[in-house]
Structure 1
Amino acid sequence: MEVVPVTPEELLASALRKLHLKAGKPSTRKIAGGVGGVSHTTVNEMLRGSRVPAWELVEKVGRFLEGDESELRTLWMATQKTPLPRGEAHNDLWDPVYLDRLVVTSFVSGKGTREVRTVERWIRATSDGVDRFRVRAAALQGISHAGSGRVNVEPYLNCTIGKVKPVKISEEGDAWLVDVLLAVPLDEGEYGFFATRSRYAHPARFTSYTETTITCQGAREVLIRVQFSSDSVPPKCWSYVGSSEIDMQEEPPAGSRRILPVSSSRYVDLPARSLPPGARVGVAWKWDPTNSPELVVR
């Protein structure tokens, strides 16, 4: 089975492209002029991911595009194959653990309107006194649905649920920050295992997806498996890495390595390795609207 190529360079370039899109896609000449001391060719190479310049230039371009400096610096440092500095490894951006292994198993039914997702995490603490892990969960939203979504996060193995904080990311759909309390606190270098289960009610959609974002110090190995019910098998599935929501819902061309075959047992697998902080990886699929009258496309 092919492992999806996810490199720190790709993730940094993806983050810059998202900022570029959010800023209204200014020309590379305009960016170069605003930054100063750099050619538009270099800016173009940064956005395409064919060049990783010095941090000072990434910082200037990120500032011009109104990006988060600390997030960009974390992504840039991953391209240098250098561990995060001790003083910065345990900030508010990333949970103070390293994921040795992450397994996400989703069971999808009702043409994508219902999903039960189990997430198993094998972790190594990167500081002393780690007693919780923050889970981010959001019901699907986006460009091709009607209605609102709901999500509920439950403890599954070796954990309990602590503080639950609602997060407003859209007028439609639930989103939460959930403190998952570990059964036993971990000190730096110690390993632990826990699992959560989330139940989602998504709006009817023409295109659906399930994904994970690395919100800690990185992940050595990730496996996303999506199991479809017998009445909910999409004709096409594909993988995506570090994409905007619009891009992830865009079906790749025939023959692309991103196309994922659906097995005879109605599941798809997406393995990935060596993911830095901030990596976003997932599986998307498209329903057949001609056989799905309940789907609303707009």
Structure 2
Amino acid sequence: VQIKVADTGCGIAEKYMSQIFTPFFTTKAPGSGTGLGLSNCYSIVDKMGGRIRVRSEEKIGSEFTTIFPLNEEGRESIHFTLVNDQNGMNDVFFIQRKVLVGEKGYLEESIHRKEDENALHILAFKGLHPVGTVSLMTSERFWPLPISKYFDIKSVLKTRHCAEIIRLAVLPEMRNTSASIGLIILIFLLARATGVEELIIDVFADDTKTIKLYKKFGFVEVGSYCSPSPVTVLVLQSKSTLEKDRSQLRHFVKPLFSRLRPLFDFGDYTQAVHDEMDRILSADKITEVVEDVEEEIQVI
């Protein structure tokens, strides 16, 4: 359910947009306002499981859209989208500020970099609220890859058909849940679906569970750097273990893909990701056929 309210007033300056819901923030003269109006609105809507989106342009006006889930189930459901508008980018930067700046000590200036405009960004939502994000930068869209500023990728990558998984950021309460695991799986599938041959990723060194999960995929640790926290660099240069390990295909990958299929909408990339899922799962069928043929040969 959406409720929109718009005006043709003076609009809100872009530099204030990230602060308008902050308690006691106001641009009015002292004594003319408390800075609590929008903050209270945000708090009330948030408690109802909803959220507020804002569009504004100076000297033209503002539009506030209040969005509510249709039912209680909608407040808890996890889903994933590929960012395709400014609202989505604002959500990406919101999560990055929360995790990278607020928790990991990144500089505010490092958020909203020029190269972000060339990346593919996935958002994880719990209900209507963004809880995590991860991005993919392909060599076709941006070269050299961002990690080159901190790590010599020429020594580990063998092809220019490569990509970097960047800015994996998940709110603390959602780590090691279906939201974080979904982001990790889906960004891998998106990379494969776009024809990427080699993948490189840097993960905070203290995030051992994520590192273990990527190693389970077949990523290999190739080095580390600090920026500003210690970071571990991993590379995948061949088929992932998702495609090679039959037991894992049956008992982990197949049920996981089944759960993920209805949870994501990547626009034009959706079908390509579904096709990549099917391609990976077909490896198990091929193995079955080979084993059946081998059994028949042995019988003969």
Q: TM-score, normalised by structure 2?
A: 0.24
Relative contact order higher in (CA < 8 Å, ≥ 6 apart): 1
Q: Which one has a larger percent strand, Structure 1 or Structure 2?
A: 1
Q: TM-score, normalised by structure 1?
A: 0.24
